[in-house]
Amino acid sequence: MSDRVFILPLWIRLWHWTNAALILLLTITGASLHFADPKLPLVPFELSARIHDIAGLALAALYLVFVVANVVTGNWWQYVPKPGGFVERCKNQIVFYCWGIFRGAPHPYPPTAEANFNSLQQIIYWIVMYLLMPILIVTGLIFLWPDFAPKRVMGMDGLVPVALLHYLTAVLIVSFMIAHIYLGTTGTKVSSLFKMMITGWHEH
């Protein structure tokens, strides 16, 4: 009977898609800034800079909302890796992606209202949301107000480490995004998980 379970409140879904749209926009404009070259088919530099600045500020604000809402609703608990066989559960999940999934085996840890992330998701989402995103946002904000950058670092302009860190975390987040979108197709049907992120209902 209960092959449907409601696991995602509206605010999480709204946050998720706004976040996704902003990151996509930031990726396209960020790449256009970084690889700026009149010979490449990129978004024009001036336009990229303007969009990137606005979208970056929006993402920073959204992140603040995300953190506050997580604390207020208690949703942060979902991200915390739970003891008692955590490594074991991660292993099972990896084995599933490397083998079981090809044989049509069921998901080892299907989401429930109490625990909607599996252990692998917990650890990776935790790293992405609470480690990489803050680094990306802080370096981005320094880029916007370069007076806060150190004056000089190892004989180079102080903005150099800020820029390298911003670029590096951006690359990691874009890599995550690609894998993340792909894993979205691993539901019961290819479209199930995308539907879940819109309606909030998970179909087993």
* Binding stretches for ligand HEC (CB under 6 A): 45-46, 49, 143, 146, 157, 159
Residues that bind other proteins (CB under 8 A): 33-38, 45-46, 49-50, 53, 97, 101-104, 146, 155-157, 159-160, 162-164, 167-168, 171-172, 174-175, 178-179, 182, 185
Nearer to ligand HEC, 164 or 181 (CB): 164
Q: How far is the CB of 45 from ligand HEC (least distance, A)?
A: 6
CA distance 121 to 107: 13
Nearer to ligand HEM, 29 or 93 (CB): 29
Tell me the residue ranges of DSSP E strands in the chain. Answer: 4-6, 152-153, 156-157, 201-203
**Residue 132 CA neighbour count, 13 Å, CB half:** 18
Other C-beta atoms lying within 10 Å of the C-beta of residue 101: 13
Between strands 156-157 and 201-203, the pairing is: unpaired
Residues that bind ligand HEM (CB under 6 A): 23, 26-27, 30-31, 33-34, 49, 52-53, 56-57, 59-60, 136-137, 140-141, 143-144, 163, 166-167, 170, 173-174
CA distance 202 to 114: 13
Q: How far is the CB of 38 from ligand HEM (least distance, A)?
A: 16
